[in-house]
Amino acid sequence: MKILLVEDEDSIAEPLTEGLQREGFTVERAATGAAALEAGPADCVLLDLRLPDLDGYEVCRSLRARSDVPIIMVTARGEEVDRVIGLELGADDYVPKPFGLRELVARIHAVTRRAAGLARRDAPIRIGGLEIDVRARRVHIDGRELALTAKEFDVLAALCSEPGAVVTRSQLLERVWHTSWHGQTKTIDVHVGALRRKLGDAARIETVRGIGFRLREP
């Protein structure tokens, strides 16, 4: 498995590279955001937020716009708002420094397993006039393609995986944001609201009060 390590500090990058290589990973290091965006394909990206040229959030946004590669943010920024922003931009996990190598390796395996599982579910899902192609990350309704953000797509994919069944807020947090945090979940409502507008039928996604949401079949 190839890891792209985006880290500008030699004192961190060198021992981390050696440790990952001992665990059997191939590691390519990028010391700047620009180098990370120019690097070849990888199976997982370890991304520091504090880079000398580009903000790590911008690097994450650019990587996610062109690829579904698993991204783990590895940074000294440990505030909740930093984690939320990173996950909203498409990161799959967030590891604050300092961290143990074993924990990091476990997280790498976890996010790559999730990515592999999603890749296997690549047959387009058709529900009435709605068609969602998970592999291509494209959605059509009555032949018209919808422009969705990455998280809007993931929310819709989660609902489409069980049409007619209730998908709880906890399940959406786990599947879309990869967290079990049980605090305020307003971000879910924001994304569902945007989906309803884009689908052109608010009743298509039904709110099950106090539990979650259900995709209604026409």
Claim to verify: residue 8 and residue 89 sit in the same structural domain: yes
> Looking at the predicted structure, is the pLDDT value of residue 194 above 70?
yes
pLDDT, position 74:
87
Contacts of 95 (CB under 8 A, 6+ apart): 72, 73, 74, 75, 103, 104, 107
Q: Output the pLDDT for position 86.
A: 80
- Would you call 166 helix, strand, or coil by DSSP? strand
| pLDDT greater at residue 12 or residue 181 | 12
pLDDT band at 79 (very low <50, low <70, confident <90, very high): low
- The dihedrals phi and psi of 165, each to the nearest 5 degrees, come to -95, 155
95 and 161 in a single domain? The answer is no
**3-class SS at 98?**
coil
Q: Is the dihedral of CA 158, 162, 167, 170 positive or negative?
A: negative
- Which residues are within 8 A (CB) of 197 and not within 5 positions of it... i.e. 6 or more apart? none
Q: Are 95 and 137 in the same domain?
A: no
At 144 the pLDDT is: 92
One domain for residues 54 and 84: yes
pLDDT value at residue 105: 94
Rounded distance, CA 180 to CA 170, Å?
7
| pLDDT (0 to 100) of residue 35 | 97
Q: What is the pLDDT of residue 6?
A: 97
CATH number at residue 101: 3.40.50.2300
- 161 exposure class (CB count in 10 Å sphere: 0-12, 13-18, 19+): middle
Residue 174 CB neighbour total at 10 angstroms? 14
Q: What is the pLDDT of residue 78?
A: 60
Q: Could you list the residue range(s) of the whole structural domain that residue 182 is in?
A: 125-215
Question: Which of 63, 86, 120 finishes a domain?
Answer: 120
Q: Are residues 210 and 129 in the same domain?
A: yes
The yes-or-no verdict on residue 87 having pLDDT over 90 is no
Are 36 and 111 in the same domain?
yes
Percent of the chain predicted with pLDDT > 70: 92
Running DSSP on this structure, what letter comes out for residue 133?
E
**Dihedral sign, CA of 140, 164, 194, 81?**
negative
Average pLDDT, the chain: 87
Q: Residue 186: give its domain's CATH number.
A: 1.10.10.10
Note whether 139 and 188 are same-domain residues.
yes
pLDDT attached to residue 26: 95
Query: What single-letter amino acid sits at 211?
Result: I
Among 104, 120, 136, the domain boundary falls at: 120
Range with the largest mean pLDDT of 29-38, 77-86, 170-179: 29-38
